[in-house]
Amino acid sequence: MIEIGGVTKVYGGRGPTFTALDNVSVTIRDNEFFTLLGPSGCGKTTLLRVIAGFVDPTSGTVALDGQDLLQLPPYKRPVNTVFQSYALFPHMTVAENIGFGLKMLDRPAAEVKRTVDEMLALVRMTEMAGRKTSEISGGQQQRVALARALAPRPKVLLLDEPLSALDFKLRKEMQIELKRLQSETGITFIFVTHDQEEALTMSDRIAVMRAGSIRQIGGPRDIYDHPAERFVADFIGDTNFLDATLLSVDGTAARVKLASGAETTVRAPAEGAKAGPVTLAVRPEHATLGNADGALLAGKLANIIYFGTDTHFHVDLDGGGSFVLRQQNQPDQKSGRSTGDRVGVSFPAGVGQVLRD
């Protein structure tokens, strides 16, 4: 278990300062695939480097199973990193790279060899053991970097955007591979990425970061279905934002009145819900297109875009604003609607999230 408490990192002493991390607190459980997700410059890599020991935080605490990590230099921390650039040692073979950590730990040569062989098999690189790292492909380098970091059996593996340099197909393969390695080794993975899809498919939990602070922590479904604030809703997937008035809150259910005058029940924010004007987030695929009569929202169909797997409907709402719906396509079946039609937009009770801000 990693406990990060109030970690702040401010760069620049005199003159202008830059706050890379602003009072970040999070607890990461054992055997968890935990993802730090956010746009570049949000502090996710800095947080990873604080855990690894390459960045000293200005204040705050980092503890691993109760042990204070900040007191230890990087080479004494039982965590290993997979670097974004892989950082493989160019003067060593694949096997020597993988065995490096164990060699530094002064493990007996027989044990080093056995573990290296295991790791080579684990990442399916046994045939490449004697190659120089410059003689293997990007995807293979990626696997060697993984094996090298896993070989000393760290308590925590830190992964700094390890898939960003790979092409699309390889990235998909490696996502599955990473997930497999994590469940086979039982090591806690802390994964940094700016790719929301990568985060959703691989993670047990996700922390969405912005401007040095964590905006929301939760499971992929939680984050996607119930974003806490506009930034999270906007960063992950596509979202419609609706102006509404919050009437009342009952636990997690909130009664709201939409701009059209219709009332419905949606999900209340975790805390701080107050009656009055709020913003509502509704995912495009959670809403349905129907007739204007009796719908929650009504408007004119402005655009229909065919995407292969699904079709996007852009609706200009009465009273301003627009709404995008997404419907799965069926073979040889048209929606039966055309641009200019008067349509209604509805979503079931409980769908839609009142945002925090």
Which of 73, 186, 261, 331 contacts another protein by CB under 8 A? 73
- Which residues lie below 8 Å from residue 145, measured CB to CB, with a gap of 6+? 82, 83, 86, 87, 88, 162
String marking each residue 145-184 x if it binds another protein according to CB under 8 A:
---xx--x--------------------------------
Residue with Cβ nearer another protein (118 or 285): 118
Residue with Cβ nearer another protein (152 or 299): 152
Q: How far is the CB of 100 from another protein (least distance, A)?
A: 5
Q: How far is CA 354 from CA 11, 255, 258, 351, in A?
A: 36, 10, 12, 10
Q: How far is the CB of 164 from another protein (least distance, A)?
A: 15
- 277 part of the interface to another protein, by CB under 8 A: no
- 90 part of the interface to another protein, by CB under 8 A: yes
Residue with Cβ nearer another protein (143 or 356): 143
> Residue 123, SS3?
coil
Q: How far is the CB of 238 from another protein (least distance, A)?
A: 35
DSSP 196-217: HHHHHHH-SEEEEEETTEEEEE
Measured over the CA atoms of residue 155, residue 160, residue 164 and residue 166, the dihedral's sign is negative
The region of 8-16, 25-33, 100-108, 208-216 touching another protein under the rule CB under 8 A is 100-108
Size of site (CB under 8 A) for another protein: 24
Q: What is the distance between the alpha carbons of residues 91 and 96, in angstroms, rounded to a whole number?
A: 9
Which of 17, 27, 30, 74 contacts another protein by CB under 8 A? 74
Q: What number of helices (H) and strands (E) belong to the chain?
A: 8, 20
- 57 part of the interface to another protein, by CB under 8 A: no
- 115 part of the interface to another protein, by CB under 8 A: no
Inter-axis angle of helices 94-104 and 109-122, nearest 10: 130
Contact 279, 355 (CB under 8 A): yes
Q: C-alpha angle with apex 78: 204 to 158, nearest 5 degrees?
A: 40
- 12 part of the interface to another protein, by CB under 8 A: no
- 6 part of the interface to another protein, by CB under 8 A: no
Q: How far is the CB of 166 from another protein (least distance, A)?
A: 18
Contact 335, 303 (CB under 8 A): no
- 87 part of the interface to another protein, by CB under 8 A: yes
Paired tokens of 299: 């408007």
Residue with Cβ nearer another protein (76 or 274): 76
Q: What is the distance between the alpha carbons of residues 351 and 110, in angstroms, rounded to a whole number?
A: 59
Burial class of 334 by CB neighbour count within 10 A (0 to 12, 13 to 18, 19+): exposed
Paired tokens of 285: 């695929």
Residue with Cβ nearer another protein (160 or 225): 160
String marking each residue 16-55 x if it binds another protein according to CB under 8 A:
------------------------------------xxx-
Q: How far is the CB of 85 from another protein (least distance, A)?
A: 6
Inter-axis angle of helices 109-122 and 138-150, nearest 10: 130
Residue with Cβ nearer another protein (100 or 191): 100
- 13 part of the interface to another protein, by CB under 8 A: no
- 81 part of the interface to another protein, by CB under 8 A: yes
Q: How far is the CB of 14 from another protein (least distance, A)?
A: 12
Interface residues with another protein (CB under 8 A) are: 52-54, 73-76, 79-81, 83, 85, 87-91, 100-101, 104-105, 148-149, 152
